[in-house]
């Protein structure tokens, strides 16, 4: 996973990039958790999503939002971080101009940024959103949702409660050939730890994400969308 540096709106952005094994392979952008809560491209769920897409032959990029690691700039409450994500997607697409599909994956704050990016970039074909913080940020902009995806959440999450997450998913209107699935991880909190010391649900996140990705990749890609 070679280190890469690319330009962003606030200056240099630090990332890790997995080159796909063949020309035209799909690509995926992975976004980490909240910078003010210790989130970085090295957190375990971000790395897990990165490795999952690598396993399926994607060109994959994860990166540090502004002010984290070697990325320049300071935290900007989401607006600047959305610009960072857009710059990262531009960079990833420049490295893979003939990619057959484009996906975005994210954890917590990164999932929220990824879902906003989804609304602005019609070339995104699918998403995996892990524990988007529905209690902290309004997700009503997802109705209607422009691409199919899955939302994975823990049933003991106090940041994104199961009832709030189920309400968000049920409220998202579907379009033709667009469907948003929900996948609950029983007993998991926002960090996908369990109630008991040492209890961990990271493997359950991977199980749901892998199952969804396999199902989507087995289906034909959606028709191309004209860029807005």
Taken in order of first residue, the domains within the chain and their CATH numbers are 3-218 (3.40.50.1820)
The contacts of residue 219 (CB under 8 Å, 6+ apart) are none
- Quick check: 40 and 116 in contact, CB under 8 A? no
Q: Is the pLDDT of residue 221 over 80?
A: no
Distance CA 87, CA 204 (A): 31
- Quick check: 74 and 67 in contact, CB under 8 A? yes
Residue 140: per-residue pLDDT: 82
The per-residue pLDDT for range 74-87, each reduced to its tens digit, is 999 999 999 999 99
pLDDT-derived band at 227, boundaries 50, 70, 90: very low
pLDDT-derived band at 226, boundaries 50, 70, 90: very low
Residue 222: per-residue pLDDT: 62
The contacts of residue 62 (CB under 8 Å, 6+ apart) are 15, 16, 29, 30, 31, 32, 41, 46, 47, 49, 50
The SS3 assignment for 62 reads strand
The per-residue pLDDT for range 147-173, each reduced to its tens digit, is 999 999 999 999 888 998 998 888 886
**Between residues 221 and 188, the one the model is more confident about:** 188
Residue 1: per-residue pLDDT: 59
Measuring CA to CA, which residue among 164, 181, 70, 86 is closest to residue 129? 181
pLDDT-derived band at 212, boundaries 50, 70, 90: very high
């Amino acid at each position: 996973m070679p280190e890469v540096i690319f330009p962003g709106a606030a200056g240099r952005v630090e990332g890790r990039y997995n080159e796909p094994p063949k020309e035209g392979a799909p690509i995926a952008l992975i976004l980490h958790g909240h910078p003010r809560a210790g989130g970085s491209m090295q957190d375990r769920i971000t790395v897990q999503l990165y490795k999952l897409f690598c396993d399926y032959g994607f060109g994959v990029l994860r990166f540090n939002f502004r002010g984290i690691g070697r990325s320049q700039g300071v935290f900007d409450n989401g607006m600047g971080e959305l610009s960072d994500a857009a710059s990262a997607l531009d960079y990833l697409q420049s490295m893979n101009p003939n990619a057959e599909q484009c996906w975005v994956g994210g954890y917590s704050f990164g999932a929220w940024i990824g879902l906003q990016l989804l609304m602005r970039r019609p070339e995104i074909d699918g998403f995996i959103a892990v524990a988007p913080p529905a209690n902290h940020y309004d997700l009503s902009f997802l109705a209607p949702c422009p691409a199919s995806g899955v939302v994975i959440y823990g049933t003991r999450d106090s940041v994104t409660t199961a009832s709030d997450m189920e309400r968000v998913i049920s409220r998202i209107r579907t379009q033709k050939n667009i469907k948003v699935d929900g996948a609950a991880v029983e007993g998991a909190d926002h960090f996908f730890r369990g109630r008991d010391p040492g209890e961990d649900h990271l493997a359950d996140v991977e199980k749901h994400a892998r199952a969804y990705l396999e199902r989507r990749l087995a289906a034909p890609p959606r028709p191309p969308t004209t860029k807005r």
